[in-house]
């Protein structure tokens, strides 16, 4: 039997939730004070995921960098691998929101997309 | 071979350089910091004292009174922000009137004019925010406020205009006598010179003692200050002193020339001549003492605190003149308060002494005036529009707290001894000196420095040397921390 | 002098939402004055996600949230000037501004909406002793450097203050390759959202030290170390609890201050509690025709509420300009009680009110199992149980016009925390 303790993020209460796991199955969730806590804890223990945001360099743009994010959640354990996959990546302006910057980041199957528009620098600008 | 090397580009060194540049000769100022005005000159009360405080007959008394008298012309010639707002020394109920009368008497003997005693009614009509304990005061009409940065920079720039060389980021390692001249060894090579002027502030005893057997001993004395937002700038309208004590003039509260309110200094003897850190004890003491003379000080609008170290010489007086056993070696040592007030007079005196000693003829084409960075807020709307049309950078606001435009910052970067660091821009233009303390404008000033100096952002500093502002680009250090725990 | 019906000072989330709602309410002649080189304000540097859950029912990053409003403003062809600094606003609604191309100019406005946002509390205001080397940044300045310019402010970082910007920057810097050693918080609780504590600190094993502060900064050129110490209930450092932490950077995330220098120049009355203008139900300040919304009014924690509040300011300004304003009548003051620090608005004129009015407020401490109660005079019209309330999270209560008009000769409205 394994016990995992975590803080609920649902509200400022921050309930300390204990999840008991046996043979990879959740057998108990205690410490939460509402249903949201139970759902959160279940997900966080079996399949914790996060959106990762960062930026990459832009060439020929009105801004030096463009902000990006994973198009959907990625496994929490893959955060640093996804960040590493962005190292050294540059994109050419113009960049539009939702443009794919990197497909299948770090083998997650999730692409990295732009979250900001960056215009191309005009000659004489 | 140089004629004169001045060690130190504080207000004293720069005042000497400016006065010396009235003469023909090869002059150089050596400064270890990356800018002028980096030591005691940048962290003091920003006051030009009347001169009633120093004991009659001392160098302090003499140079203070003369320095104060020089300021009207000097501030006009060199475009230095300066205002005679008058000072008050407050005597409280529990203090003796005698102490105030003795100051009045001392002032008279020092040659200070415009001194008089104010009784309570008049006092409070002038300064309604004085503590209720205030009983009477010594009023000195010639007490003034000045911008110490602008004063030092103006003197330095004018010296440059007149041909004086400044070697910044140059640390003097030693001064040695060689035949009838001196060898000044620095971290950038050796210089031979006919005369040396030692204006090295808290380090002035070190260089003096290398050439003279009549030893000096500088005891660093730290003073801590609190600077308030401009919203508190009119809390008092004169320089408010307390009756002087053993360690100096006590805590003063004053408007600054730029409209803020300043309180300080404390006085603490410290071992480190560059120990310009503030301390929680010092700041707490400062608050308590400031409240003894002023009521309702709005401490919630303090925008920054800082500390300066004053060069107190064991003998208690300024040491100004040629070392008796080292001909050609001149001291301006132990220049603590009233050093800023005395600097112009020390400059005048020492430059005169050295010029006479080396028989340096007067320059025929001496440029006596210098213009500061143009201040657009003093212009009319029409003039300002004309300026922006001519130089659109003046229409691009960079520092929103102090309302400083790109035009002023470009001027600061490109003038003689131009700004190369964030602090250098700040002291010349006030960008970053306001209530947000550079939070908004620092990245923008950094961009301008990078562009105008054609440098890389990563080499930009706060104040030269190793004070780098940035440590790399995003993701440069990624993966160095091998195992982040993300389970 | 050029005249515009409505001038909006600031093109961040508040200014944009106000402009859009005013246009939708029928105001044609609008001008937004923005000091930065693009619209969107502080959202441009908030590249993390978590914005827009209330407004768009999806989780967006700051720039994406801003883009939704910018695009809408462009579809509506709302005019704006960038790189334009407003230098002064006077009580008669004359606006003096400046930029590179138009120089120094004045505009006249039928109504003005203040939407200038806020600034960070600097080190000096925090009274942190020590040296003043390079490497001390407010969290927002560091955020701009990293997220908009691609530069790292440091490698080994200590963060003082656990407000959301500080927490967000702890994660950002960690992801970009820095080592965040600790987040110290003066108060016994964090000022940030629980979600940020978990996802920005716990995810990366960054310790959060509550009831701690920085008592010394070392380093003459660049930060070399900071010393943190535990504080007692009086928030003063406890002797002997000092811990020296070698680092090259100190980030400060110690509170935001509404930026009201322009408001003051117009003679707008400022609340000492919020540091923002005192406003009525229409979000109108003490100067008629000048409205305020967003972080210049009071510091928000969610941009969704900024947009909502700003839209209300836009409608109110439109209402005034279109002559739809009824005689205002006597204002009723909104009083605060039992831990409610302030309310926005702080007075209500029943005749001028929309069908409902959102009264936003913050509490002064952490409260458990209390109710938020709304009293009209001696009559409680609303009560809602809250298991927990904290100073870091804005609370709200909805005042209904139908309740209000039933009360004649109402002396005051009270928002209070009550037992059970």
- Angle between helix axes B148-161 and B339-358 (nearest 10 degrees) is 20
C220 in the same domain as C167: yes
- Asked if B484's CB is within 8 angstroms of A87's CB, the reply is no
- Under a CB-based contact definition with an 8 Å cutoff, are residues C296 and C258 in contact? yes
Average pLDDT (C117-143) is 91
Instruction: Label residue A11 by pLDDT band (50, 70, 90).
Output: confident
- Asked if C85's CB is within 8 angstroms of B397's CB, the reply is yes
pLDDT computed for residue B249 by the predictor = 65
Structural tokens at position B395: 């229409």
Q: Is A88 helix (H, G, I), strand (E, B) or coil?
A: coil
By Cβ distance, the residue of C120, C155, C249 closest to B439 is: C120
**What residue ranges of chain A are covered by domains with CATH 3.10.530.10?**
53-114
User: Is the minimum CB–CB distance between B479 and chain A shorter than 8 Å?
Assistant: yes
pLDDT computed for residue B486 by the predictor = 46
pLDDT computed for residue C83 by the predictor = 97
Count of Cβ atoms closer than 10 Å to residue A107 Cβ: 10
User: Is the minimum CB–CB distance between A85 and chain B shorter than 8 Å?
Assistant: no
Structural tokens at position B58: 């001392």
Strand partners, B369: none
Phi then psi for residue C332, to 5 deg, are: -105, 130
Burial B194-217 (b: 16+ CB within 10 A, else e): bbbbbbbbbbbbbbbbbbbeeebe
Q: Is the pLDDT of residue C346 over 70?
A: yes
Chains interfacing with A (3 or more CB pairs < 8 Å): B, C
**CA B359 from chain center: how many Å?**
31
The kind and range of the H/E element at B2 are strand B2-7
Give the CATH number of the domain where residue C104 resides: 3.50.50.60
Q: Which fold is adopted by the domain A53-114?
A: CPE0013-like fold (3.10.530)
Nearest CA in chain A to B475: A87
Residue B419 inside a domain? The answer is yes
- Asked if C153's CB is within 8 angstroms of B471's CB, the reply is yes
Length of chain A in terms of residues written: 125
pLDDT computed for residue B482 by the predictor = 46
Residue B276 inside a domain? The answer is yes
User: Is the minimum CB–CB distance between C34 and chain B shorter than 8 Å?
Assistant: no
What's chain C's average pLDDT?
Answer: 95
Distances (CA, A) of B303 to A62, B226, B227, C49: 35, 8, 6, 33
B417 in the same domain as B381: yes
Give C203 to chain A, closest Cα distance, Å: 8
B245 in the same domain as B393: no
**Which of A62, A68, A83, A108 to substitute to test the interface with B, most B CBs within 10 Å?**
A83
B404 in the same domain as B353: no
B447 in the same domain as B428: yes
pLDDT computed for residue B302 by the predictor = 92
Instruction: Give the contacts of B156 (CB within 8 A, at least 6 positions apart).
Output: B9, B14, B17, B18, B29, B36, B37, B166, B417
Q: Is the pLDDT of residue C325 over 80?
A: no
Instruction: Label residue B254 by pLDDT band (50, 70, 90).
Output: very high
CA-CA distance, C361 to C380, in Å (whole number)? Answer: 18
CA-CA distance, B438 to B430, in Å (whole number)? Answer: 10
User: Is the minimum CB–CB distance between A77 and chain B shorter than 8 Å?
Assistant: yes
C93 in the same domain as C74: yes
User: Is the minimum CB–CB distance between C152 and chain A shorter than 8 Å?
Assistant: no
Structural tokens at position B315: 């003998």
Q: Following DSSP, what letter does each residue of C32-74 receive, concatenated?
A: EE-SSSSTTGGGGG--SEEE-HHHHSS-EEHHHHHHHHHHHHH
**CA C230 from chain center: how many Å?**
29
- Under a CB-based contact definition with an 8 Å cutoff, are residues B156 and B11 in contact? no
Q: Is the pLDDT of residue C347 over 60?
A: yes
Nearest CA in chain B to C123: B304
CA-CA distance, B163 to B43, in Å (whole number)? Answer: 28
Give the CATH number of the domain where residue B389 resides: 1.10.10.1100
- Under a CB-based contact definition with an 8 Å cutoff, are residues C414 and C382 in contact? no
- Asked if C64's CB is within 8 angstroms of A7's CB, the reply is no
Residue B62 inside a domain? The answer is no
C400 in the same domain as C369: yes
B437 in the same domain as B381: yes
By Cβ distance, the residue of A11, A13, A76 closest to C203 is: A76
**Which of A80, A82, A88 to substitute to test the interface with B, most B CBs within 10 Å?**
A80
Give A87 to chain B, closest Cα distance, Å: 6
Peptide bond into B202 cis (omega under 30): no
**Which of C88, C98, C131 to substitute to test the interface with B, most B CBs within 10 Å?**
C98
List, by residue number, the catalytic residues of B. Answer: 49
Per-residue pLDDT tens for B225-251? 999 999 999 999 999 999 976 655 679
Q: Following DSSP, what letter does each residue of C392-409 receive, concatenated?
A: TS-EEEEEEHHHHHH-SS
**Which of C103, C139, C203 to substitute to test the interface with B, most B CBs within 10 Å?**
C103
- Asked if A9's CB is within 8 angstroms of C198's CB, the reply is yes
Chain B residues with beta carbon closer than 8 angstroms to that of C296: none
- Angle between helix axes B148-161 and B59-78 (nearest 10 degrees) is 70
What's chain B's average pLDDT?
Answer: 95
B225 in the same domain as B213: no
Per-residue pLDDT tens for B128-169? 999 999 999 999 999 999 999 999 999 999 999 999 999 999
By Cβ distance, the residue of A13, A53, A63 closest to C48 is: A53
- Asked if C150's CB is within 8 angstroms of A64's CB, the reply is yes
Among the candidates C325, C348, C380, a domain finishes at: C325
- Asked if A87's CB is within 8 angstroms of B475's CB, the reply is yes
Instruction: Label residue B23 by pLDDT band (50, 70, 90).
Output: very high
Taking only residues 80 to 139 of chain C, the set having a beta carbon closer than 8 angstroms to any beta carbon of chain B reads 83, 85, 87, 98-104, 119-120, 122-125, 127, 129-135, 137-138
Instruction: Give the contacts of C291 (CB within 8 A, at least 6 positions apart).
Output: C18, C111, C112, C113, C114, C279, C282, C283, C284, C285, C313, C316, C317
Average pLDDT (C2-6) is 97
Give the ranges where B127-198 is alpha helix by DSSP (H): 148-161
B443 in the same domain as B392: yes
CA-CA distance, B425 to B443, in Å (whole number)? Answer: 13
Give A123 to chain C, closest Cα distance, Å: 18
Instruction: Label residue A125 by pLDDT band (50, 70, 90).
Output: very low
Average pLDDT (B440-466) is 97
Q: Closest Cα to residue C252, out of C303, C193, C191, C301?
A: C191
Give A109 to chain C, closest Cα distance, Å: 20
Average pLDDT (B49-65) is 97
- Asked if A87's CB is within 8 angstroms of B478's CB, the reply is yes
Chain B residues with beta carbon closer than 8 angstroms to that of C270: none
- Asked if C120's CB is within 8 angstroms of B403's CB, the reply is no
Q: Following DSSP, what letter does each residue of B376-445 receive, concatenated?
A: GGGS-HHHHHHHHHH-GGGGSEEETTTTEEHHHHHHHHHSTT---SHHHHHHHH-TT-STTTTTTTHHHH
pLDDT computed for residue B366 by the predictor = 98
Distances (CA, A) of C319 to B446, C278, C314, C316, C322: 44, 20, 9, 5, 5
User: Is the minimum CB–CB distance between C193 and chain A shorter than 8 Å?
Assistant: yes
Q: What percent of chain B has pLDDT over 70?
A: 97
Phi then psi for residue A109, to 5 deg, are: 80, 0
pLDDT computed for residue C121 by the predictor = 86
- Asked if A13's CB is within 8 angstroms of C199's CB, the reply is no
Per-residue pLDDT tens for B310-369? 999 999 999 999 999 999 999 999 999 999 999 999 999 999 999 999 999 999 999 999
Chains interfacing with B (3 or more CB pairs < 8 Å): A, C
CA-CA distance, C231 to C27, in Å (whole number)? Answer: 53
Distances (CA, A) of B273 to B159, B201, B205, B223, B310: 27, 9, 11, 12, 8
Chains interfacing with C (3 or more CB pairs < 8 Å): A, B
User: Is the minimum CB–CB distance between B246 and chain A shorter than 8 Å?
Assistant: no
Q: Following DSSP, what letter does each residue of C113-138 receive, concatenated?
A: EE---EEEPPHHHHT--B---BTEEE
By Cβ distance, the residue of A54, A76, A87 closest to B486 is: A76
The kind and range of the H/E element at C258 are strand C256-258
Tell me which residue range forms the domain holding B425: 376-459
Structural tokens at position C283: 């979000």
CA-CA distance, B260 to B45, in Å (whole number)? Answer: 12
C411 in the same domain as C311: no
User: Is the minimum CB–CB distance between C402 and chain B shorter than 8 Å?
Assistant: no
Instruction: Give the contacts of B284 (CB within 8 A, at least 6 positions apart).
Output: none
CA-CA distance, C189 to C199, in Å (whole number)? Answer: 17
Q: Is the pLDDT of residue C20 over 50?
A: yes
Q: How many CB contacts within 8 angstroms connect chain A with chain B?
A: 19
- Under a CB-based contact definition with an 8 Å cutoff, are residues B26 and B418 in contact? no
Q: Following DSSP, what letter does each residue of C154-203 receive, concatenated?
A: -SEEEEE--SHHHHHHHHHHHHTT-EEEEEE-SSSS-SS-HHHIIIIIGG
User: Is the minimum CB–CB distance between C177 and chain B shorter than 8 Å?
Assistant: yes
Give C287 to chain B, closest Cα distance, Å: 20
The kind and range of the H/E element at B102 are helix B97-110
Per-residue pLDDT tens for B109-135? 999 988 999 999 999 999 999 999 999
Among the candidates C205, C228, C254, a domain finishes at: C254
Instruction: Give the contacts of B453 (CB within 8 A, at least 6 positions apart).
Output: B413, B420
Cα-Cα-Cα-Cα dihedral of C195, C198, C201, C204, to 10°?
-130
- Under a CB-based contact definition with an 8 Å cutoff, are residues B276 and C131 in contact? yes
Structural tokens at position B53: 């405080």
Give C237 to chain B, closest Cα distance, Å: 10
- Under a CB-based contact definition with an 8 Å cutoff, are residues B238 and B295 in contact? no
pLDDT computed for residue C53 by the predictor = 86
Average pLDDT (C345-362) is 94
Per-residue pLDDT tens for B386-432? 999 999 999 999 999 999 999 999 999 999 999 999 999 999 999 99
Average pLDDT (A86-103) is 97
Among the candidates B292, B323, B358, a domain finishes at: B358
Q: Is the pLDDT of residue A2 over 90?
A: no
Nearest CA in chain B to C140: B439
B121 in the same domain as B196: no
Q: Is the pLDDT of residue C239 over 60?
A: yes
Nearest CA in chain B to A46: B487
Q: What percent of chain C has pLDDT over 70?
A: 99
Nearest CA in chain B to C37: B396
Structural tokens at position B463: 């104040």
Cα-Cα-Cα-Cα dihedral of C50, C52, C56, C59, to 10°?
-10
- Under a CB-based contact definition with an 8 Å cutoff, are residues B407 and B376 in contact? yes
Strands C249-252, C136-138: pairing is parallel
Q: Is B158 helix (H, G, I), strand (E, B) or coil?
A: helix
pLDDT computed for residue B480 by the predictor = 64
Tell me which residue range forms the domain holding C397: 327-420
B152 in the same domain as B24: yes
Q: What share of chain B is helix, strand, coil (3-state, %, to 5)?
A: 35, 25, 40
Q: Following DSSP, what letter does each residue of B246-312 receive, concatenated?
A: TTBS--EEEE-TTS-EEEE---EE-S-TT---B-HHHHHHHHHHHHHHBSS--GGGEEEEEEEEEEE
Provide the number of structural domains found in chain B.
3
Which residue reads 């031979």 in tokens?
A: B192
Chain B residues with beta carbon closer than 8 angstroms to that of A86: 475
By Cβ distance, the residue of A6, A53, A76 closest to C61 is: A53
Among the candidates C325, C354, C384, a domain finishes at: C325
């Amino acid at each position: 039997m394994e016990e995992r303790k975590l803080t609920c993020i649902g509200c400022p209460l921050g309930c300390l939730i204990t999840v008991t796991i046996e043979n990879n199955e959740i057998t108990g969730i205690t410490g939460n004070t509402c249903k949201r806590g139970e759902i959160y804890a279940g997900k966080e223990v079996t399949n914790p995921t996060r959106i990762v945001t960062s930026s990459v360099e832009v060439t020929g743009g009105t801004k030096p960098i463009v902000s990006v994010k994973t198009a959907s959640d990625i496994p929490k354990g893959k955060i640093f691998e996804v960040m590493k996959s962005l190292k050294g990546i540059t994109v050419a302006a113009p960049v539009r929101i939702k443009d794919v910057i990197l497909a299948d980041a770090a083998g997650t199957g999730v692409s990295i997309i732009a979250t900001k528009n960056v215009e191309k620098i005009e000659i004489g600008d | 071979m140089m004629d004169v090397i001045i060690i130190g580009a504080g207000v004293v060194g720069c005042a000497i350089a400016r006065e010396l540049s009235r003469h023909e000769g090869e002059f150089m100022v050596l400064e270890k910091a990356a800018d002028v005005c980096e030591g005691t000159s940048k962290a003091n009360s920003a006051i030009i004292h009347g001169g009633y405080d120093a004991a009659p007959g001392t160098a302090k008394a003499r140079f203070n009174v003369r320095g104060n008298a020089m300021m009207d012309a000097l501030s006009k010639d060199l475009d230095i922000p300066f205002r005679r707002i008058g000072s008050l020394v407050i005597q409280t109920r529990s203090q003796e009137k005698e102490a105030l009368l003795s100051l009045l008497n001392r002032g008279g003997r020092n040659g200070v004019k415009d001194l008089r005693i104010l009784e309570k009614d008049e006092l409070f009509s002038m300064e309604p925010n004085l503590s209720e304990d205030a009983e009477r005061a010594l009023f000195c009409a010639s007490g003034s406020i000045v911008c110490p940065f602008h004063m030092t920079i103006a003197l330095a720039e004018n010296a440059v205009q007149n041909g004086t060389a400044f070697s910044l980021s140059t640390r003097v390692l030693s001064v040695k006598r060689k035949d009838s001249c001196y060898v000044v060894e620095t971290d950038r090579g050796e210089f031979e010179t006919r005369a040396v002027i030692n204006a090295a502030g808290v380090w002035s005893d070190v260089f003096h003692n290398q050439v003279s057997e009549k030893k000096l001993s500088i005891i660093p004395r730290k003073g801590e200050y609190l600077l308030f937002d401009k919203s508190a700038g009119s809390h008092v309208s004169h320089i408010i002193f307390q009756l002087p004590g053993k360690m100096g003039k006590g805590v003063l509260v004053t408007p600054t020339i730029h409209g803020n309110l300043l309180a300080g200094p404390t006085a603490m003897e410290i071992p480190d001549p560059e120990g310009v850190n503030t301390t929680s004890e010092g700041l707490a003491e400062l608050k308590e003492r400031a409240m003894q003379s002023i009521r309702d000080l709005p401490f919630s609008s303090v925008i920054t605190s800082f500390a300066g170290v004053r060069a107190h010489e064991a003998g208690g007086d300024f040491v100004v003149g040629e070392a008796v056993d080292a001909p050609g070696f001149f001291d301006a040592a132990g220049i603590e308060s009233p050093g800023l007030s005395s600097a112009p007079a020390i400059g005048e005196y020492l430059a005169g002494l050295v010029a006479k000693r080396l028989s340096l003829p007067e320059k025929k084409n001496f440029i006596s005036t210098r213009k500061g960075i143009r201040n657009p807020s003093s212009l009319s709307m029409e003039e300002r529009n004309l300026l922006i049309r001519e130089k659109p950078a003046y229409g691009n606001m960079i520092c929103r707290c102090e309302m400083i435009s790109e035009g002023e910052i470009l001027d600061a970067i490109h003038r003689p001894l131009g700004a190369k660091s964030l602090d250098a821009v700040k002291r010349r233009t006030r960008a970053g000196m306001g209530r947000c303390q550079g939070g908004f404008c620092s990245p923008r000033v950094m961009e301008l420095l990078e562009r105008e100096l054609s440098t890389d952002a990563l080499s930009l500093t706060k104040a030269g040397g190793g004070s780098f502002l940035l440590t790399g680009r995003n993701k440069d250090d990624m993966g160095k921390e091998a195992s982040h725990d993300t389970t | 002098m050029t005249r515009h019906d409505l001038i909006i000072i600031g093109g961040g989330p508040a200014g944009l939402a106000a402009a859009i709602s005013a246009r939708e309410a029928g105001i044609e002649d609008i001008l937004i004055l923005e000091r930065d080189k693009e619209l969107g304000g502080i959202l441009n540097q908030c590249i993390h996600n978590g914005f827009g859950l209330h407004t768009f029912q999806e989780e967006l990053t700051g720039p994406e949230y801003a883009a939704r409003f910018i695009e809408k403003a462009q579809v509506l062809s709302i005019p704006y000037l960038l790189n334009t600094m407003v230098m002064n606003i006077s009580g008669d609604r004359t606006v003096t501004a400046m930029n590179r191309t138009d120089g120094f100019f004045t505009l006249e406005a039928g109504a003005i909406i203040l939407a200038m946002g806020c600034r960070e509390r600097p080190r000096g205001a925090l009274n942190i002793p020590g040296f003043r080397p390079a490497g001390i940044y407010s969290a927002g300045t560091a955020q701009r450097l990293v997220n908009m310019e691609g530069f790292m402010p440091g490698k080994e970082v200590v963060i003082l203050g656990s407000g959301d910007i500080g927490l967000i920057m702890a994660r950002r810097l960690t992801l970009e390759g820095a080592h965040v050693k600790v987040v110290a918080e003066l108060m016994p609780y964090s000022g940030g959202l629980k979600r940020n504590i978990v996802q920005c600190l716990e995810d990366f094993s960054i310790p959060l030290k509550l009831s701690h502060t920085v008592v010394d900064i070392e380093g003459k050129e660049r930060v070399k170390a900071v010393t943190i110490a535990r504080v007692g209930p009086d928030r003063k450092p406890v002797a002997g609890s000092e811990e020296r932490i070698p680092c090259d950077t100190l980030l400060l995330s110690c509170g935001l201050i509404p930026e009201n220098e322009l408001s003051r120049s117009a003679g707008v009355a400022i609340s000492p509690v919020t540091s923002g203008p005192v406003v009525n139900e229409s979000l109108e300040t003490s100067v008629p025709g000048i409205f305020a919304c967003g972080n210049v009014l009071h510091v928000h924690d969610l941009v969704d509420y900024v947009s909502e509040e700003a839209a209300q300011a836009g409608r109110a300004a439109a209402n005034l300009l279109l002559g739809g304003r009824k005689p205002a009548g006597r204002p009723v003051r909104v009083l605060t009680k039992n831990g409610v620090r302030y309310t926005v608005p702080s007075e209500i004129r029943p005749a001028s009110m929309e069908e409902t009015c959102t009264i936003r407020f913050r509490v002064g401490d952490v409260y458990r199992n209390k109710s938020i109660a709304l009293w009209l005079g001696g009559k409680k019209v609303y009560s809602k149980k809250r298991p927990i309330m904290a100073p870091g999270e804005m609370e709200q209560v909805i005042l209904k016009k139908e309740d209000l008009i039933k009360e004649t000769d109402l002396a005051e409205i009270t928002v209070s925390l009550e037992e059970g």
